Amino acid sequence: MQTSVRLGKLKLKNPVTVASGTFGYAQEFKELVDLNALGAIITKTITLNPRLGNPVPRLAETSSGMLNAIGLQNEGLDNFISIKLPLLQRIKTKIIVSVSANSAEEFIHCVQALEKVNVEAVELNLSCPNIKYAKLKSSKGKARIFAQDENDTFSLINAVAKKTNLVLIAKLSPNVTDITGIAMAAEKAGAHALSLVNTFSAMAIDINTLKPRLANVNGGLSGPAIKPIAVKMVYDVAQAVNIPVLGMGGIMNSDDAVEFILAGATAIGVGTANFVQPNVSMEIIKGIEQYCKKNNIKDINKLIGMFRV
Ligand SMILES: Cc1cc2nc3c(=O)[nH]c(=O)nc-3n(C[C@H](O)[C@H](O)[C@H](O)COP(=O)(O)O)c2cc1C
């Protein structure tokens, strides 16, 4: 059976990736998962300088979901390149490095540094709901997340695309009125693929202490609670653009993964499910193949967007 798919010029051996921030830098999972079997590994987002992240508590379980406000804790670009990346590059799969920054210049600096050390693809995290974009002034003069504004999305990706040959995957925010407009702006600007969705802006209150359950007050909701909304966003975006979509949001098993592919996702990301069952990505790879065999589908690409209204 043909299981390989393409995100631009990046060829994955199968459509199953692990979502940024839910799989560390892969070494954390090496005893539990056959890392070589994954279609791709998307690393925890890195930034130019190290970040401590937000104060604790920064995780809370909610009905059918999980709230997090990690705040992009990471050791910074240089440490990633010297310590984490060499180990990642030994794994026989594609490595997609997730990067976030406050400005186009900072994004370009990170992407060019990664290009020099043979990284093939980056996921531009334009959508983290859990950090304060202090320096960023949007086109409307207000600090906000890049992927919440078409012009900001366009100008950022366009600036980066002009300065690199890497595969650029733009990670979009679901915290918008119409994600298709943002997706089209990202495509026009030169993104080779789109990753969606990041977490939904959300909060929870402890009714006994009268305190927020996250020290940051706000967090991002992930897990099964968001899946139907994410499926709709993937479906809408896949109809609107001609570049591949990497779909994610509440994928817990292979049926969920197939649902995203039918909605139009070329590849899928397993996120919160990694915390529930660390080797779930292996079962998802097998389950997708079994589904294809059962339904006499010889090429996984035939399944993409096969859903009809
Ligand atoms: C604990 C946690 C940390 C995350 N960290 C990142 C991150 O660093 N960068 C990023 O782009 N997305 C991050 N995400 C979002 C996931 O990559 C994914 O987009 C989202 O959780 C939806 O998928 P899921 O419902 O399968 O988890 C994080 C999610 C969780 C739960």
Asked whether residue 308 is domain-assigned, the answer is no
Position in ligand 1 atom list of the atom nearest CA 199: 20
44 alpha carbon – ligand 1 mean position (Å): 9
Asked whether residue 169 is domain-assigned, the answer is yes
* pTM of the model as a whole: 0.96
Which pLDDT score is estimated for 65? 97
Closest by CA position to 125, among listed 191, 79, 59, 62: 191
DSSP 3-state of 300? helix
Number of folded domains that form the chain: 1
Q: What is the share, in percent, of the chain residues with pLDDT greater than 90?
A: 93
Asked whether residue 292 is domain-assigned, the answer is yes
Cross-strand pairs, 218: 203
198 alpha carbon – ligand 1 mean position (Å): 6
Which pLDDT score is estimated for 129? 77
- Interval 165-209: pLDDT, tens: 999 999 999 999 999 999 999 999 999 999 999 999 999 999 999
- Interval 47-91: pLDDT, tens: 999 999 999 999 999 999 999 999 999 999 999 999 999 999 999
Question: Is 249 touching ligand 1 by the criterion CB < 6 Å?
Answer: yes
Per-state percent for the chain, helix, strand, coil, to nearest 5: 35, 20, 45
150-161 vs 179-189: helix crossing angle, rounded to 10 = 20
Asked whether residue 235 is domain-assigned, the answer is yes
- Interval 120-154: pLDDT, tens: 999 999 988 777 654 444 445 444 699 999 999 99
Position in ligand 1 atom list of the atom nearest CA 20: 17
Asked whether residue 309 is domain-assigned, the answer is no
Closest by CA position to 117, among listed 78, 91, 156, 74: 78
**How far apart, in whole angstroms, are the C-alpha atoms of residue 261 and residue 41?**
18
**Options 60, 99, 108, 128, the catalytic residue:** 128
Q: Catalytic: 128?
A: yes
Tell me the residue range of the domain where 289 lies. Answer: 5-303
Question: Is 20 touching ligand 1 by the criterion CB < 6 Å?
Answer: yes
223 alpha carbon – ligand 1 mean position (Å): 9
- What CATH number does residue 209 fall under? 3.20.20.70
